[in-house]
Chains A and B, each alone.
Chain A
Amino acid sequence: MTAPQHLLQAFFAKATASFHKACAPDVPCQDLSFALAGQRIRLRIAGAEMAAQIAPAFEQLAAQEALSPALTVYAWDARRSDGLLPPPPWERTGYFERGNLRGYSDERFSLVYDHSSDVFSAVDCLENVGHYWTRDASRLPQHELSAPLRHIFQRWFQPQGIFVVHAAAVGRPEGGLLLAGRGGSGKSTTALLCLQAGLRFAGDDFVLASATPRPYAFSLYNSAKANGATVIWEGGSQATLPDPPRVPAGKVLAYMNRVYPDRMAEGFPLRAVVLPRRTPQTDTQFERIASDVAYRTIVPDTVLRTLAEAPFVFRAFRELLARVDCYQMALGTDLAQIPRAILRILDNR
């Protein structure tokens, strides 16, 4: 069922008005401009807490302010009553509800409420306006801090054939690869070892990707999550860690732009997709696999993290995998071998 468009237009107008009300004289409003997948995005944030929470993940994409941004996203919270947002007219939209999510999507509008983070994201793809709202920005969970606004980007970039993929991306300006797999497979460890070894970093957990006109990965976030004991942090700085009380035991969230600012990549052409998995063996080994094998291994993970736009991602991912080389990589305990193996794949040796 497609919702009456005037209802959603009216809701978006109310939401924008709510943002402007939240920008009271004593609530700083911060405008950020960044370049994402070749598009200029303007992020307007009300409140210092919200800015401190979500802006660091995009620092590597900072760009000069554009007179006409391709997309404007308003971000605010409701800790002051001025910031309250009326709920969307769900009952008249034919919404879907899937576990944590309640959402609605048509050719123009996409609205998603995520219960796990208490975040409401909405985008009007005709007016190129997005809304990102939560009741209390100070309570955003770590998984949201590391990858904010991804529902908005997933929908807004869709007409351009660009989609959010659950993967890390490392490489060189002339070519790189995606490291895909579920949590715990070793993709973060691999990505950060490669970063230490001198490769460019386009993302740790979610990146934008496209299959056409050529396979390409675009940096989306500079955040990285890894086990605190990971060797990666030898070169890092404690200053990169967020407020300690929000860091779950054993995990750290860091902004790699602050650790390796000269190794951030806006993106690169994709040459391969690598599926790492941890093993107890010493040596790291890799082998080429069919794209179908890679697809069935990683697509459920990405699709179930991007529920609102799942059918599009399901097909776009297949097209991407058909156009790159796919490998599985058994990660050994001799960590120095891991970036060398990645370099061999990039060099096609």
Chain B
Amino acid sequence: MSDCYTFDEKKIVYEALSHEVVLVNLDNGHYYILEGTAALLWQWISASVAVPEVVRAFQTAYTGEGIERAVTDLVAEWLAEELLAASEVSAEPATRPELMRLLPTTKSPFTAPAMFKYTDMANLIQMDPIREFDETGWPKRRRKPDGKE
């Protein structure tokens, strides 16, 4: 597994709210709500901070066991969902102060990251995928249920 990750800005859009991140995969219409530590971890990991550094930062900010496992499991899940991709470039040091401000100033118990995935709107963009082209170069028109164009 690579240490640093990024996301494709043309495919993934996200917004960090007060206590959560809303994330949409524009390619398949799936969207996600990341709560609590998952929201914080997304902001660290997607900024291409190396995973071991993220683990250390969270172990400093939080008490409790299992932080490293929680981080690596979540990264694996994001990779499986194609939200992240390996990055050759690591985060600039200048990003650290902003990321550090996201973490609690007094050591707090670590709560497991929570990610909720929704697929209920995927049909908005997947109902008539473009598959074939006609002789003019335009996609063939969608077919009706009876098979006619």
Residues of A participating in the B interface, judged by any CB pair closer than 8 Å: 84, 86-87, 96-102, 113, 115-116, 118, 120, 135, 182, 290, 292, 295-296, 299-301, 303-305, 307, 310-311, 314-315, 318
A-B Cβ contacts below 8 A, count? 92
Contacts of B31 in A (CB 8 A): 300, 304
Q: Are A99 and B138 neighbours in the complex by a CB distance under 8 Å? A: no
Query: A102-B130, A314-B14, A314-B24 are known contacts; what are 9 more A-B pairs with Cβ within 8 Å?
Result: A102-B139, A116-B127, A292-B17, A292-B18, A292-B19, A300-B31, A304-B24, A304-B31, A311-B9
Q: Decide if A303 touches B13 in the complex (CB within 8 Å).
A: yes
Q: Which residues of A contact B26 (CB under 8 A)?
A: 98, 303-304, 307, 310
A98: chain B residues at CB < 8 Å are 26-27, 125
Q: Hey, which bits of chain B sit against chain A, CB under 8 A? A: 9-10, 13-15, 17-20, 22, 24, 26-29, 31, 33, 118, 121, 124-130, 136-139, 141-142
9 examples of A-B residue contacts, CB within 8 angstroms: A99-B29, A99-B126, A99-B129, A100-B126, A115-B129, A115-B139, A118-B142, A120-B138, A318-B17
Known: A100-B125, A315-B15. A296 touches B137 (CB 8 A): no
Minimum CB–CB distance for A225 against chain B, Å: 16
The B interface is mostly helix, strand or loop, or mixed, namely loop
Residues of B within 8 A of A116 (CB): 127-128, 142
Given contacts A87-B136, A100-B127, contact A301 B121 (CB under 8 A): yes
CA A201 to CA B14, docked complex, whole Å: 32
CA distance A114 to B130 in the complex (A): 9
Residues from chain B with Cβ under 8 Å of A101 in the complex: 125, 130
**B127 neighbours in A (Cβ, 8 Å):** 99-100, 116
Instruction: From A96, A102, A314, give the contact of B15 (CB < 8 A).
Output: A314
| Chain A at the B interface: SS class | mixed
Q: Give the complex CA separation of A333 and B137 in angstroms.
A: 51
Q: Specify which of B17, B18, B26, B136 lies most central, judged by the most chain A CB atoms within 10 Å of its CB.
A: B26
* Bound: A74/B42 CA distance, A: 44
| B129 near A296: Cβ-Cβ < 8 Å | no
Q: Is the CB of B130 within 8 A of A314?
A: no
* Residue in B closest to A99 when the chains form the complex, CB atoms: B125
Q: How far is B136's CA from A99's CA once the two chains are assembled, in angstroms?
A: 21
User: What's the minimum C-beta distance from A118 to chain B, rounded to whole angstroms?
Assistant: 5
CB distance from A182 to the nearest CB of B (A): 8
> Could you tell me if A292 and B130 are in contact, using CB atoms closer than 8 angstroms?
no
Min distance, Cβ B34 to any Cβ of chain A, angstroms? 10
Complex interface: chain B residues within 8 A of A86 (CB):
136-137
Q: Verify A296–B125 contact, CB threshold 8 A.
A: no
Would you give the shortest CB distance from A19 to chain B, in whole angstroms? Answer: 16
Chain B residues with CB under 8 Å of A84's CB are 136
Q: How far is the CB of B79 from chain A (nearest CB, A)?
A: 20
Kindly provide the distance from the CB of A53 to the nearest chain B CB, expressed in whole angstroms. Answer: 16
Q: Which of A300, A315, A318 has the most CB of B within 10 A?
A: A300
Q: Which of chain B's residues have a CB closer than 8 A to the CB of A301? A: 121
- CB-based contact B141/A118 at 8 Å: yes
| A199–chain B nearest beta-carbon distance, Å | 29
Partner of A311, one of B13, B28, B136: B13
Known: A296-B33, A299-B22, A311-B9. A115 touches B15 (CB 8 A): no
Give the 7 A-B CB pairs with smallest separation, nearest first: A99-B125, A87-B137, A292-B17, A99-B126, A300-B31, A115-B128, A116-B128
